[in-house]
Amino acid sequence: MSPGPHQLSLLPADPTPSLRVVTEAVRTAGPDGLPGARRLADAARYQEIHVRAALADVRAPSMPFRWALNPYRGCTHACEYCYARKYQRHLELGAGDDFSSVILVKTNLPEVLARELARRTWTRGAVAVGTATDPYQPIEGRYRITRRAIEVLTRARTPFHIVTKGPLVVRDRDLLADAARVVACRVYVSVPTVDDSAWSRLEPGTAPPAQRLRAVRQLIDAGIDAGVLMMPLVPGLTTSRAIVTRTLEAIAGAGARFVGANVARFEQGARDHFFGFLDREYPALADGYRRLYARGRPDPGYVREIHGMVHAAAARLGLERPDQATGAP
Ligand code: SF4
């Protein structure tokens, strides 16, 4: 017998707050006001939230995808150059430590996604998973939201690609191999450099580059279309010919099918954070950066030079660009 209205009202209300409730709580009391956040062993605070929408409509002609899907907000990988730091400001959180230590977990995202993809108006536009935070940051091991989202995308025959620095993606190679049989599906593993010194200072919360490249190998061995993004290249730290060559050789050695590269951009929010980091860690580079980024974006002549060097070295190693490899999103 189904419960009547009186019985329903006796059930406890769903305690998981919405994004709006969380934003309001932080505006009032800072991160300490998060309702029900749990601090785990990595010292980050995890706040579960319920979302009303899963897909974000990107609608940018320059992007090879229409929709973005991000199971988490904030990222414990804590890359100093991360452009997504600016999004934390929309939540009244700082773009610095708050970005990597306060993580919003969208626990109902797979169910909401399933409803969105079941609409008669859904046209199966390409979905990019992990545009603003890493979908395989360590907490995914506990929540498995990205994994469930992949199942939903595959069932709905919706093409998608994933961008990640998390070797945890290998856990889902069974699902990704299944997906690849029915839809366009690709994994971009981000490995901007194999230089240990630059890696440990620029990406303090990530797995070592060699571990990420092993993940590329395992994905390819499982029959998944996978390659590497050297993004971003960070001027003066990861752009020397020697470091670029070493990185590309390691990428080719991992069996990657393609490699993409781009010089870092620092938009407002991310820019203040990164330039503060440079002042502390690499003060000798700070003036050069302010000249290189005087107009916001990096000097176009410099970008052309770096891209030319990377593309020539990649071609010598037989690595295609992502848009040249078949199955590009
Ligand atoms: S892994 Fe990606 S989303 Fe996470 S901090 Fe690094 S660049 Fe940002």
Nearest atom in ligand 1 to 130's CA: 3
What is the DSSP secondary-structure string of 17-38? PBHHHHHHHHHHHGGGG-TT-E
Q: Is residue 79 in contact with ligand 1, taking CB distance under 6 Å?
A: yes
Mutate to test the pocket of ligand 1, among 133, 169, 230, 233 (most ligand atoms within 8 A of CB): 133
Q: Is residue 78 in contact with ligand 1, taking CB distance under 6 Å?
A: yes
Task: Say what the alpha-carbon torsion angle 272, 277, 279, 283 is, to the nearest 10 degrees.
Answer: -140
Q: Is residue 84 in contact with ligand 1, taking CB distance under 6 Å?
A: yes
Distance CA 15, CA 38 (A): 14
Q: Of 24-28, 103-107, 320-324, where does mean pLDDT reach its minimum?
A: 24-28
Å from CA of 71 to ligand 1 middle? 13
Q: Is residue 164 in contact with ligand 1, taking CB distance under 6 Å?
A: no
> pLDDT tens digits, residue range 262-289?
999 988 878 999 999 999 999 999 999 9
> pLDDT tens digits, residue range 192-215?
999 999 999 999 999 999 999 999
227, 188 in Cβ contact below 8 A?
Answer: yes
Q: Is residue 103 in contact with ligand 1, taking CB distance under 6 Å?
A: no
**pLDDT surpassing 80 at residue 226:** yes
Å from CA of 8 to ligand 1 middle? 42
Strands (E), 171-271: 185-190, 225-233, 259-263
The predicted model scores a pTM of 0.89
Q: Is residue 165 in contact with ligand 1, taking CB distance under 6 Å?
A: yes
Distance CA 140, CA 121 (A): 30
Look at residue 1 in the predicted model and tell me its pLDDT. 40
> pLDDT tens digits, residue range 80-89?
999 888 776 6
Mutate to test the pocket of ligand 1, among 83, 103, 165, 266 (most ligand atoms within 8 A of CB): 165
Distance CA 201, CA 197 (A): 6
Which residues, listed in sequence order, are joined to residue 129 by a DSSP beta bridge?
Answer: 69, 162
Q: Is residue 212 in contact with ligand 1, taking CB distance under 6 Å?
A: no
259, 228 in Cβ contact below 8 A?
Answer: yes
Look at residue 267 in the predicted model and tell me its pLDDT. 83
Mutate to test the pocket of ligand 1, among 69, 70, 73, 75 (most ligand atoms within 8 A of CB): 75
Å from CA of 277 to ligand 1 middle? 16
